[in-house]
Amino acid sequence: MKLLLIEDHQDIANIIFDFFEIKGYTLDYANNGLQGYELAKQHHYDLIVLDVMLPRMDGYMVCQQLRKDGIDTPILMLTARDTREDTLEGFATGADDYLIKPFDLEILEARITALTRRRKGNTAAQILQFGDLFLNLKTHIATRENTKISLNPTQFTILKLMLLRAPNILKKQEVMNTLWGDDEPENNVLRSHIYQLRTQIDKGFSHSYIKTIPKVGYQLIKQIKEDNQK
């Protein structure tokens, strides 16, 4: 399990590192909120342990901004502030759990285990996958090689249909019926959406996924770049 610890108190950070590394966890560390925010955006973590009182960007702001960015990694907040209002503010910004300092390390581990187990139980219904391409049905964000790809509503719907059918062919008429019903636009409108989606999903990666089956529809397969399907 990979954790991100965002904590400016070095002694507390060292204690947490020592405890969890012995248990076999992998940890990344940030000693200020801005650095922690950047790490959380750039890398995948199973859980984020986030202190509230941080330099450069406090924990509430880090949590709130990550949620705005569509990052739904579980967040466990640590704080010495134990008022009811502090706890409610933590949950309001998007935290999944809240632990008051000083805390027992085994309790912290139990909370982490519970949060990650709950996430794994929900993930199957929220994530569609084909190869290294993932689509989060909750956030509408696609991911390839840890690169997050924001999609507009039409792109999301098309990619979702493709993933649900993969590796079988998704018929063009099904896409048009889903997007526009009986009010179908000209055919080149759909072609434009497919082109934009292909640019988002395939451009810059070692191979392409989206293939056009002429006069039939679309298919997700692993294909070399020379195919240049349009």
Q: Which residue has the higher pLDDT, 115 or 223?
A: 115
* Cα distances (Å, whole numbers) of residue 155 to 21, 142, 147, 177, 230: 41, 10, 17, 15, 16
pLDDT band at 180 (very low <50, low <70, confident <90, very high): confident
Return the residue matching tokens 């996924």: 209
Distance CA 49, CA 5 (A): 5
Q: Which residue has the higher pLDDT, 89 or 159?
A: 159
Asked if the model's pLDDT at residue 34 lies above 70, the reply is: yes
What percent of the chain has pLDDT above 70?
92
Write down the pLDDT at residue 230: 44
Distance CA 115, CA 109 (A): 10
- pTM of the complete model: 0.55
Write down the pLDDT at residue 145: 86
| Bridging pattern class, strands 217-223 and 170-171 | antiparallel
Please choose, from the candidates 172, 169, 230, 164, the residue with its C-alpha nearest in 3D space to the C-alpha of residue 197: 230
Q: What is the mean pLDDT of residues 112-124?
A: 73
Cis check for the bond before 185: say yes or no (omega within 30 of 0).
no
Distance CA 19, CA 7 (A): 15
Q: Return the structure tokens found at 186.
A: 């000209």
Q: What is the mean pLDDT of residues 40-45?
A: 86
Please choose, from the candidates 16, 65, 57, 17, the residue with its C-alpha nearest in 3D space to the C-alpha of residue 33: 57
Q: What is the mean pLDDT of residues 130-148?
A: 89
pLDDT tens per residue across span 66-79: 888 878 889 999 98
CATH architecture of structural domain 2-124: 3-Layer(aba) Sandwich (3.40)
pLDDT band at 206 (very low <50, low <70, confident <90, very high): confident
Distance CA 60, CA 38 (A): 15
| Bridging pattern class, strands 127-130 and 147-150 | unpaired
> In the chain, which residues fall in CATH 1.10.10.10?
131-227
Q: What is the mean pLDDT of residues 55-62?
A: 93
pLDDT band at 83 (very low <50, low <70, confident <90, very high): low
Asked if the model's pLDDT at residue 124 lies above 60, the reply is: no
- Cβ contacts of 60 within 8 Å, gap of 6 or more: 52, 89, 90, 93
Cis check for the bond before 153: say yes or no (omega within 30 of 0).
no
Q: Which residue has the higher pLDDT, 155 or 92?
A: 155
> In the chain, which residues fall in CATH 3.40.50.2300?
2-124
Q: Return the structure tokens found at 132.
A: 């290294």
Distance CA 67, CA 45 (A): 14
CATH architecture of structural domain 131-227: Orthogonal Bundle (1.10)
pLDDT tens per residue across span 96-115: 888 888 889 999 999 999 88
